[in-house]
Amino acid sequence: MVAPMTERDRRGFLKVSGVAGFGLLGCGGNPAGGTPSPDAGATTDTGAVDAPGPEATPDGGGATPWWLQGNYGPVADELEATSLEVLGALPPELDGVYLRNGPNPRSGRSGHWFVGDGMLHGVRLQGGRALWYRNRYLQTSLYRGMPFGRSGGFPDVRDTAGNTALALHAGRLLALYEASLPLEVRADLSTVGLYDFAGMLEGPMSAHPKSDPATGELFFHGYGVVPPYVKVHRVDAQGRHQRVTNVMTRGATMVHEFQLTPRWMVVLDLPIVFDLGTLARSPLPYRWRDDYPARVGLVPREGDGSARWFDIEPCYIFHTFNAFEEGERVVLEGCRHPRLWVDGPDLLASEPMPHRWTLDLSTGRAQEQRLTDQLAEFPQVASAVRGRPHRYGYALNVGRSPDGVHLGDARAYLKHDRVMDRWTRHDLGEGRQPDEPTFVPRPGGRSEDDGWIFGFVYDRAGDRSELVVLDAMNFTAPAVARVRLPRRVPHGFHGLWVPAMA
């Protein structure tokens, strides 16, 4: 058993980084200067920032960190472009906006890839045309230069960068950042403001909520550094907060992801744990601990928070495909990092591979299986089968880091047929770097993979990006359409298709 945080550690942490759960600090700066990106069609520039320079390091040193180099680095302005060129043919039934979230530090400097002012990038599709591209900063208190917190000058759950993920539920579109309250936004990329579920949410909301396709309910967790370490929230189909369940992990661990089945909430308790000492060199106060065992917990959806825990081999799991039940077994599939952040969170180099964990309720044991030796991250399945046995999963095929500091450049998308146990690869081409694949179902589709894969793809040679649309059923075929964008879209995190009627 790993001892929980001491009162001395707790006081020290709260003094340094507030009560948001962890200290994702260094999120912005003051704008100044900058050069607009090249035009493509009609554009409007609405702001500019300093480009990152050699001084842009977490410790004030002379080398630019990897998350501010190349297409990881921020873009210098906001703009809008119309009359977008489309190569191929966009499906005419697509009517909505594809949105992608990510960090874009306003000052051009940040202490980690995971921090930095949130920026949305969006492409509006309708009737076979790409009507516009926009990028907009999320209008947070940090972006506007307000001090951290509302008392004492320290950050709290109302201080958000909003840069990690997006969720659509009960007509509300939320930008998420797991240390804080969600931020409500609109499909036109404008910001509404912080959202706390009518005052029922007082702590952070995770970046990866899960909806139940059968009931319409939304479940999400938040985690912190004092017991109870994890809280799981339940929201009904109309968006009303219904319940919170407290879950005790062994200690203050970073719980980025969780899953949901008809009977269970699936909670991860893994060896990246709170460490106040890392704040001397990084805004993320977490590191790997060899003496912290890894386990997966099954928490009854209707229970009191008591969990059935299953020990697994040491690893970290940022993202999962899905979880589902098979009788008295629960199956979890996700991308397993064998070891991470041993020397601190600045180093993101790892070799994540898709794995399956089968949790047997009758024996209390977990069985682990590697699904492929291809490196992959940002997995997902169709939202209609979440929590139920799925057939198809999608992921980003990542590379090995040549310098040992970050995930290597991606070049392909992967599709897994779980029934046939077959992996298919769609290569985007030399010098073309894709971000997360997002599955968009065809309206009225007749099969689980009847739809498209959306993703932003950066072309290194042209220093600009495209929105690429693939036929998910014909995965290896050339792209159905490529929407040429007026600028590059920096590598970010998670995307979402928002139908026009939403």
Q: What is the DSSP letter of 50?
A: P
State the Cα torsion 480-485-489-495 to the nearest 10°: -40
Average pLDDT, the chain: 88
Mean pLDDT of 342-366: 94
Q: What is the DSSP letter of 77?
A: E
* Residue with more model confidence, 13 or 362: 362
Phi and psi of 130, rounded to 5°? -100, 105
Mean pLDDT of 20-24: 42
Question: What is the distance between the alpha carbons of residues 156 and 412, in angstroms, rounded to a whole number?
Answer: 39
Q: What is the pLDDT of residues 193-209, one digit of tens each?
A: 999 999 999 999 999 99
pLDDT at 451 over 60: yes
Q: What is the pLDDT at residue 98?
A: 98
Q: What is the pLDDT at residue 152?
A: 52
Lowest-pLDDT choice from 108-122, 396-410, 444-458 = 396-410
Residues 466 and 488: beta-carbon distance below 8 Å: no
Question: What is the distance between the alpha carbons of residues 307 and 298, in angstroms, rounded to a whole number?
Answer: 5
pLDDT at 51 over 80: no
pLDDT at 249 over 50: yes
pLDDT at 30 over 80: no
Q: What is the pLDDT of residues 86-104, one digit of tens each?
A: 999 999 999 999 999 999 9
Three-point CA angle 103, 105, 111, nearest 5°: 90
* 328: exposed, middle or buried (Cβ count in 10 Å: 0-12, 13-18, 19+): exposed
Phi and psi of 68, rounded to 5°? -120, 10
Q: What is the pLDDT at residue 346?
A: 87
* Residue with more model confidence, 16 or 399: 399
Reported as half-sphere exposure (CB side, CA atoms, 13 A), residue 122 has a value of 27
Q: What is the DSSP letter of 253?
A: B
Question: What is the distance between the alpha carbons of residues 42 and 79, in angstroms, rounded to a whole number?
Answer: 10
Q: What is the pLDDT of residues 210-230, one digit of tens each?
A: 999 999 999 999 999 999 999
The separation between CA 376 and the C-alpha centre of its own chain, rounded to angstroms, equals 14
The alpha helices in 119-224, defined as continuous H runs, are none
Q: What is the pLDDT at residue 155?
A: 66
Helix/strand/coil percentages in the chain, nearest 5:
5, 40, 55
Q: What is the pLDDT at residue 343?
A: 85
Q: What is the pLDDT of residues 102-138, one digit of tens each?
A: 999 999 999 999 999 999 999 999 999 999 999 999 9
Question: What is the distance between the alpha carbons of residues 156 and 153, in angstroms, rounded to a whole number?
Answer: 9
Residue 312, beta-bridge partner list: 294
Query: Which two three-digit tokens encode residue 33?
Result: 């200067």
Residues 358 and 366: beta-carbon distance below 8 Å: yes
Question: What is the distance between the alpha carbons of residues 453 and 473, in angstroms, rounded to a whole number?
Answer: 10
CA distances for 359 relative to 152, 210, 231, 386, angstroms? 46, 20, 22, 18
Q: What is the pLDDT at residue 404?
A: 74
Mean pLDDT of 236-255: 97
Q: What is the pLDDT at residue 10?
A: 42
pLDDT at 260 over 70: yes
User: What is the percent of the chain where pLDDT is above 70?
Assistant: 86
Residue 332, beta-bridge partner list: 323, 357
HEC profile for 308-364? Answer: EEEEECCCECCCEEEEEEECCEEEEEEEEECCCCCCCCCCCCCCCEEEEEEEECCCC
Question: What is the distance between the alpha carbons of residues 468 and 1, in angstroms, rounded to a whole number?
Answer: 48
Q: What is the pLDDT of residues 144-163, one digit of tens each?
A: 887 655 545 556 889 999 99
Q: What is the pLDDT at residue 154?
A: 59
Number of H helices, E strands in the chain: 1, 34
Question: What is the distance between the alpha carbons of residues 30 and 358, in angstroms, rounded to a whole number?
Answer: 49
